C-alpha cells in the first residue's frame, strides 16, 4: 500500500507539471526567459552567454536596416581607370620576359641566332645552333631573344647593360635607338616581346579548370580570365566572386556581368590578381522548427531570395503542429550581436509582407510549435512511463 501511495504522488506530480505548462516538451523553442530583457529604442534586448540579442517586429524597413555581415570581406569599388577594359593599356616588361631586337641592315647587332636563321634554316642539334645558343647564354638571352635578368636589365652590344624592367616596348625601342645611334647612322630598330613570363593572374574556385593566366600586351579582364579557365561550374556563386589585389578584396557580381551586361564588374586585371568564385553552398538560409520539410536552402544567383520563397521551398508551415503567430527570422548583425525578427504570419497580410523581406546569407528561419503540440509531446513522453507503472501494479507491487 505504501508503494501505491508513492505511485499516486508521482502521478499527481506529473499531472501538475503537464497542466502547469510544457516546459519539458521536446524540440526547439524560442525562449529568452533565461535572461532579463531590457526595452530599448530598437526593440527588446537581452544578453545570453555573452551574445547580445535584439528582438524586433519584422518589417521590410527594419530588415533592410539590419544587413547581415558579409560572407567575405569586401572593399569599395575600384577606381574608374582600373575598371577600363583596355583604353590606353601598354604592357610593361618585367623580369623573365624575352625580348626580340632587330636592327635592319646590321645582322651583327641582332639577337644571337637570328642572323643565322635569316640566311638559311637551322637544323636542330647542328653545330651552328649550339654555337648560337652558347653565345646567347653568354649575353643574357636565348637563341630567339634576350631574357630580362633578375636585376631588370638586358645586355646589348655597344650599349652594354640596359635597364628595361617597368618600361613599355616603345620606351625600350627609344632607349636602344639612342644608344646604337652613337655607332650606327640612322638605325632602323624594332623591339618585341616574344615570351611573356613575368606577370600572371590566378583563377580559382568554381571554374572548370583553375588556371594561371599570363598577362600579355593584350589586356586581360575578369571575363577573359574566366573564359580561359573554361567558364564557371553549375555550383558557382556568381554574385559572391571576389578579386584579391594585394591586401584588398574587391566584390565582383558575375551574374550582373555575364547576364545583365554590367561592365563595371569586368575589371582589368593586373599582376598577382586572384579571381576566386566560391561555391554557392556558402550562401544558404536555414529553415527550422515546425516546417513541413526543414532544410538548408542555397540562395539563387539570379536575384533576391525572399522569406516567402524560402518558406514555400521548405514546404510551408506544418498545419498540424506549427504556431503561425510565432515565426522568427534570426540574423547575425554584428560582432556578438544577433537580431531576431518576429512575424505573426497567421493573416494573409503577413504573408504578403514575407514576400517583400529579402533574405541574407546564413539567415535562420524558425517556426515555433503550437501549445497543444507541446502538450501532446509531453503526454507522448509520459505514456510509456505510465504503462510501466500499470505493469508494476498488475504484478501486485
- Express each pLDDT in 294-328 by its tens digit: 999 988 876 789 999 999 999 989 888 888 888 99
Question: Is position 40 within any domain?
Answer: yes
* 112 within some domain: yes
Mean pLDDT of the chain: 77
Sorting pLDDT into bands at 50, 70 and 90, what band is 396?
low
Q: Which of 314-318, 334-338, 376-380 has the highest mean pLDDT?
A: 314-318
Domain that residue 304 falls in: 29-69+283-369
Q: What is the pLDDT of residues 12-48, one digit of tens each?
A: 555 555 445 455 555 555 554 444 555 555 557 777 7
For the chain, what is the domain count? 3
Q: What pLDDT shows up at residue 185?
A: 87
Residue 355: inside a domain: yes
Q: 161-206 pLDDT, tens per residue?
A: 999 999 999 999 999 999 988 888 888 889 999 999 999 999 999 9
Whether 298 maps to a domain, the answer reads yes
Q: Is residue 395 part of a domain?
A: no
C-alpha cell, 111: 639577337
Which residues have a Cβ under 8 Å from the Cβ of 18 and sit 6 or more positions away? 375, 378, 379, 382
Tell me if 161 is assigned to some domain.
Answer: yes
pLDDT digits (tens, 9 = 90+) for 111-133: 654 444 433 333 344 443 433 34
pLDDT(372) > 90: no
Residue scoring higher pLDDT (358 or 373): 358
In sequence order, the 6+-apart residues with CB closer than 8 A to the CB of 162 are 153, 154, 155, 156, 172, 175, 176, 179
Strand bridging mode 248-252 / 211-214: unpaired
Q: How confident is the model at residue 208 (pLDDT cuts 50, 70, 90)?
A: very high
Instruction: Show which of 246, 263, 280 is a domain's final residue.
Output: 280
CB neighbour list of residue 351: distance below 8 Å, 6 or more residues apart:
308, 345
- CATH number of the CATH domain containing 47: 3.10.560.10
Amino acid at each position: 500500500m505504501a508503494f501505491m501511495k508513492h505511485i499516486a504522488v508521482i502521478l499527481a506530480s506529473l499531472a501538475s507539471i503537464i497542466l502547469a505548462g510544457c516546459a519539458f516538451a521536446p524540440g526547439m523553442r524560442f525562449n529568452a526567459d533565461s535572461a532579463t530583457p531590457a526595452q530599448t529604442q530598437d526593440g527588446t534586448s537581452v544578453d545570453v552567454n555573452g551574445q547580445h540579442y535584439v528582438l524586433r517586429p519584422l518589417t521590410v524597413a527594419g530588415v533592410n536596416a539590419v544587413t547581415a555581415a558579409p560572407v567575405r570581406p569586401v572593399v569599395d569599388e575600384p577606381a574608374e581607370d582600373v575598371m577600363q577594359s583596355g583604353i590606353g593599356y601598354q604592357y610593361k616588361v618585367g623580369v623573365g620576359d624575352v625580348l626580340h631586337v632587330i636592327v635592319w641592315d646590321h645582322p651583327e647587332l641582332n639577337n644571337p641566332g637570328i642572323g643565322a636563321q635569316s640566311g638559311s634554316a637551322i637544323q636542330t642539334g647542328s653545330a651552328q645552333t649550339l654555337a648560337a645558343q652558347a653565345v646567347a647564354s653568354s649575353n643574357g638571352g636565348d637563341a630567339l631573344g634576350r631574357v630580362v635578368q633578375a636585376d631588370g636589365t638586358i645586355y646589348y652590344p655597344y650599349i652594354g647593360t640596359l635597364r628595361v624592367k617597368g618600361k613599355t616596348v616603345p620606351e625600350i625601342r627609344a632607349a636602344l635607338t639612342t644608344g646604337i645611334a652613337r655607332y650606327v647612322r640612322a638605325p632602323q630598330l624594332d623591339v618585341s616581346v616574344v615570351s611573356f613570363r613575368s606577370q600572371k593572374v590566378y583563377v580559382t574556385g568554381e571554374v572548370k579548370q583553375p588556371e594561371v593566366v599570363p598577362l600579355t600586351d593584350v589586356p586581360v579582364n575578369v571575363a577573359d580570365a574566366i573564359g580561359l579557365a573554361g567558364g564557371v561550374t553549375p555550383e558557382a556563386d556568381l554574385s559572391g566572386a571576389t578579386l584579391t589585389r594585394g591586401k584588398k578584396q574587391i566584390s565582383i557580381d558575375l551574374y550582373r556581368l555575364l547576364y545583365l551586361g554590367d561592365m563595371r564588374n569586368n575589371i582589368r586585371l593586373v599582376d598577382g590578381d586572384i579571381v576566386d568564385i566560391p561555391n554557392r553552398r556558402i550562401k544558404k538560409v536555414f529553415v527550422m522548427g515546425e516546417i513541413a520539410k526543414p532544410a538548408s536552402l542555397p540562395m539563387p544567383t539570379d536575384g533576391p531570395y525572399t522569406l516567402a520563397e524560402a518558406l514555400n521551398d521548405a514546404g510551408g508551415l506544418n498545419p498540424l503542429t506549427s504556431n503561425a503567430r510565432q515565426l522568427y527570422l534570426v540574423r547575425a548583425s554584428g560582432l556578438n550581436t544577433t537580431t531576431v525578427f518576429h512575424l505573426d504570419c497567421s493573416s494573409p497580410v503577413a504573408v504578403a509582407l514575407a514576400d517583400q523581406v529579402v533574405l541574407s546569407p546564413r539567415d535562420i528561419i524558425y517556426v515555433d510549435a503550437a501549445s497543444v503540440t507541446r502538450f501532446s509531446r509531453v503526454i507522448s513522453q509520459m505514456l510509456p512511463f505510465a504503462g510501466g507503472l500499470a505493469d508494476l501494479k498488475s504484478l501486485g507491487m
